[in-house]
Amino acid sequence: MEGILYKWTNYMTGWQPRWFVLEDGVISYYDSEDDVGKGSKGSIKMSVCDIKGSNFVFGTSHPTQWM
């Protein structure tokens, strides 16, 4: 499964569209669909994710990822 989600970046740029790919229980993201062959900007195992309210919050040892 793949497509565009909006990822919170920071208070200067806010929510930015990113291309996400879900494969084998891992969600990876890229700047755009064209960048998939260049390697992901980040990835997270879905087994460590929580859903809080209407947001997907990825709790990892790295900063929280809001989508």
10-41: pLDDT as tens digits: 899 998 999 999 999 999 999 999 999 999 99
Q: How many CB atoms lie within 10 A of CB 5?
A: 15
Q: What percent of the chain has pLDDT over 90?
A: 49
Q: Indicate the domain borders of the chain.
A: 2-66
Exposure string for 6-45, b = 16+ CB within 10 A, e = fewer: ebeeeeeeeeeebbbbeeeeebbbbeeeeeeeeebeeebe
User: Thinking of the domain 2-66, which architecture would CATH place it in?
Assistant: Roll (2.30)
39-60: pLDDT as tens digits: 999 998 888 876 666 666 665 5
